[in-house]
Amino acid sequence: MKTRITELFGIEHPIIQGGMHYVGFAELAAAVSNAGGLGVITGLTQKSPADLANEIARCRDMTDKPFGVNLTFLPILKAPDYPGYVQAIIDGGVKVVETAGNNPVEWLPMLKDNGITVIHKCTNVRHSIKAQEIGCDAVSVDGFECGGHPGEDDIPNMILLPRAADELEIPFVASGGMADARSLVASLAMGADGMNMGTRFIATKEAPVHDNVKAAIVAASELDTRLVMRPLRNTERVLTNDAVELILEKERESGAHIKFEDIEKEVAGVYPKVMIDGDMNAGAWSCGMVAGLIDDIPTCQELIDRIMGDAEALIRQRLEGFVAA
């Protein structure tokens, strides 16, 4: 399939794997890229720019296809060494960066001067237009369904994607709630040029996370995610567990007075415990409503081949069938 996104990134299929903390290691990024999509290493999971440089080199050993790095700009006072991470990306010859979390304008000159294509993840139309204005090459439009941080506007993709299509000239991918060929074809119909998946790629053979995590996603239904940290205006969609229910109880009790410290135990330092140790009650970890559509653990190649094969059948048979007569 050829779209503006496959052309922009030099990939075979319009499918991107979004950056995911403690999931987006070289193994997953390389597997997605080898299957014809765009794999993405999560920059900040690497403890230092030197570690990121090493992860990029490991990925390059596993694939000769394009892959990207995610740079998430966190809402915290003590910022990570962003200049160092950007330099590691440039030195590593990476040609695609997925930015998220905050306006990437400060980093665009450095990235663009080094021939790097930037796709910025946005949860509303206003930020998507801003991304276009400041010179991003593409947008990942992340609907309310998404795993991770859906923002505070709560607009689902059925509205958000056509709205983005009405406003944007640069290409965008649909993100949040994407799992299969139906997601892809519907996104293309609504004006996107491809799709970005997070949760779906965790439940793959190559995702280097504990089997408990994959099993939890397969077992979960679309009813099993919760929104935490809304009173802190840092809303995160997570899979429910004991720790998450405790956070929600604290949020109900403290209302607008809740502070980060009140829930720190349930949200800080959780990812290695969940993703590496498989301790599923260690705290809150991101997961999308799309878990309800995930019931197997294929390889990335099997997953992407299935999506593309089914998408072609959907377009040529089901959709074409409606208008052929």
**What is the smallest separation between the CB atom of 142 and ligand FMN, expressed in angstroms?**
5
The residue (of 34 and 72) whose beta carbon lies closer to ligand FMN is 72
Contact (Cβ atoms closer than 8 angstroms) between residue 283 and residue 274: yes
**What is the smallest separation between the CB atom of 111 and ligand FMN, expressed in angstroms?**
16
Name, in order, each residue with C-beta under 8 angstroms of 238's C-beta and a sequence gap of 6 or more.
Answer: 147, 225, 226, 227, 228, 244, 284, 285, 286, 287
**What is the smallest separation between the CB atom of 262 and ligand FMN, expressed in angstroms?**
23
The residue (of 34 and 183) whose beta carbon lies closer to ligand FMN is 183
The residue (of 43 and 92) whose beta carbon lies closer to ligand FMN is 43
How crowded is residue 134: how many other Cβ atoms within 10 Å of its Cβ? 14
Closest-CA residue to 140 (of 95, 180, 189, 193): 193
> Do β-strands 236-239 and 225-228 pair in parallel, antiparallel, or remain unpaired?
antiparallel
**What is the smallest separation between the CB atom of 17 and ligand FMN, expressed in angstroms?**
8
Could you list the residues that contact ligand FMN (CB under 6 A)?
18-21, 23, 42, 70, 72, 100, 121, 142, 145-148, 175-178, 196-200, 285-288, 290
The residue (of 11 and 146) whose beta carbon lies closer to ligand FMN is 146
**What is the smallest separation between the CB atom of 162 and ligand FMN, expressed in angstroms?**
18
CA atoms within 13 A on the CB side of 97: 29
**What is the smallest separation between the CB atom of 20 and ligand FMN, expressed in angstroms?**
4
Measured from each CB, the residue nearest to ligand FMN is: 198
**What is the smallest separation between the CB atom of 152 and ligand FMN, expressed in angstroms?**
16
| Token reading at 24 | 């987006």
Task: Give CA separation, 120 vs 109, 142, 303, in Å.
Answer: 14, 10, 25
Does residue 132 sit in helix, strand or coil? helix
The residue (of 201 and 252) whose beta carbon lies closer to ligand FMN is 201
The residue (of 61 and 222) whose beta carbon lies closer to ligand FMN is 222
Measured distance CA(276)–CA(247) in Å, rounded: 22
Closest-CA residue to 18 (of 175, 198, 249): 198
The residue (of 79 and 324) whose beta carbon lies closer to ligand FMN is 79
The residue (of 282 and 287) whose beta carbon lies closer to ligand FMN is 287
**What does 207-260 look like in DSSP terms, one character per residue?**
--S-HHHHHHHHH--TT-EEEE-GGGT--EEEE--HHHHHHHHHHHHHGGG--H
Cα first-last separation, the chain: 25
**What is the smallest separation between the CB atom of 320 and ligand FMN, expressed in angstroms?**
28
